[in-house]
Amino acid sequence: SVAVPAPPKGTYQYTLCVRSDSYLDCDHLKLFKLDVGEAKKVVESHPQWEDSEEEEREEDDSAVSDSSDGGITESDDDDDDE
Protein backbone atom coordinates (compact mmCIF):
# COMPACT_ATOMS: atom_id res chain seq x y z
CA SER A 1 0.00 0.00 0.00
CA VAL A 2 1.07 3.58 -0.60
CA ALA A 3 0.45 6.16 2.13
CA VAL A 4 0.68 9.92 1.56
CA PRO A 5 -0.57 12.87 3.62
CA ALA A 6 -3.99 14.05 2.46
CA PRO A 7 -4.18 17.43 0.74
CA PRO A 8 -6.84 20.01 1.67
CA LYS A 9 -10.50 19.31 0.87
CA GLY A 10 -11.16 19.01 -2.87
CA THR A 11 -10.90 16.73 -5.91
CA TYR A 12 -7.45 15.81 -7.22
CA GLN A 13 -6.28 13.83 -10.25
CA TYR A 14 -3.03 11.88 -10.07
CA THR A 15 -1.04 9.68 -12.42
CA LEU A 16 0.82 6.76 -10.91
CA CYS A 17 3.80 5.63 -12.97
CA VAL A 18 5.46 2.28 -12.28
CA ARG A 19 8.68 1.58 -14.16
CA SER A 20 10.91 -1.45 -14.27
CA ASP A 21 14.65 -1.05 -13.93
CA SER A 22 15.19 -4.44 -15.58
CA TYR A 23 12.73 -4.71 -18.49
CA LEU A 24 12.06 -2.40 -21.43
CA ASP A 25 8.47 -1.41 -22.29
CA CYS A 26 7.16 -2.71 -18.99
CA ASP A 27 6.02 0.69 -17.71
CA HIS A 28 2.50 1.09 -16.33
CA LEU A 29 0.57 4.34 -15.98
CA LYS A 30 -2.58 4.51 -13.88
CA LEU A 31 -4.78 7.61 -13.75
CA PHE A 32 -6.91 8.03 -10.66
CA LYS A 33 -9.08 10.66 -9.02
CA LEU A 34 -8.98 11.38 -5.32
CA ASP A 35 -11.93 13.02 -3.56
CA VAL A 36 -10.73 14.44 -0.25
CA GLY A 37 -13.38 15.26 2.34
CA GLU A 38 -13.19 17.64 5.26
CA ALA A 39 -10.84 16.50 8.00
CA LYS A 40 -12.37 15.23 11.23
CA LYS A 41 -11.47 16.93 14.48
CA VAL A 42 -8.84 15.01 16.40
CA VAL A 43 -9.47 14.61 20.11
CA GLU A 44 -6.28 15.64 21.89
CA SER A 45 -7.33 14.50 25.34
CA HIS A 46 -5.23 11.65 26.70
CA PRO A 47 -6.63 10.74 30.14
CA GLN A 48 -4.25 7.78 30.46
CA TRP A 49 -1.34 10.25 30.60
CA GLU A 50 -2.84 12.51 33.27
CA ASP A 51 -1.90 12.02 36.93
CA SER A 52 -4.66 11.84 39.47
CA GLU A 53 -4.62 14.29 42.39
CA GLU A 54 -3.55 11.49 44.73
CA GLU A 55 -0.55 10.58 42.51
CA GLU A 56 0.49 14.24 42.35
CA ARG A 57 0.38 14.51 46.17
CA GLU A 58 2.48 11.34 46.51
CA GLU A 59 5.07 12.70 44.07
CA ASP A 60 5.23 16.02 45.93
CA ASP A 61 5.63 14.24 49.29
CA SER A 62 8.40 11.97 48.00
CA ALA A 63 10.29 14.93 46.50
CA VAL A 64 10.28 16.71 49.85
CA SER A 65 11.43 13.63 51.78
CA ASP A 66 14.19 12.91 49.22
CA SER A 67 15.67 16.38 49.58
CA SER A 68 15.79 16.17 53.40
CA ASP A 69 17.36 12.67 53.56
CA GLY A 70 21.00 11.82 52.97
CA GLY A 71 22.49 15.16 53.95
CA ILE A 72 25.92 15.20 55.62
CA THR A 73 25.96 16.76 59.08
CA GLU A 74 28.87 17.88 61.25
CA SER A 75 28.38 14.95 63.64
CA ASP A 76 28.84 12.52 60.71
CA ASP A 77 32.17 14.20 59.87
CA ASP A 78 33.42 13.98 63.47
CA ASP A 79 32.87 10.21 63.60
CA ASP A 80 35.19 9.66 60.63
CA ASP A 81 38.15 11.41 62.30
CA GLU A 82 38.37 8.95 65.21
Task: Tell me the per-residue pLDDT of 58-71, one tens digit each, with 9 for 90 and over.
Answer: 777 776 665 555 55
Length of the chain: 82
What is the spatial distance between Cα 4 and Cα 13, in angstroms, rounded to a whole number?
A: 14
Q: How far is CA 19 from CA 33, 44, 56, in A?
A: 21, 41, 58
**Residue whose C-alpha is closest to residue 32's, from 61, 57, 2, 55:** 2
pLDDT at 45 over 70: yes
| CA-based nearest residue to 7, from 36, 40, 32, 33 | 36
| pTM, full prediction | 0.39
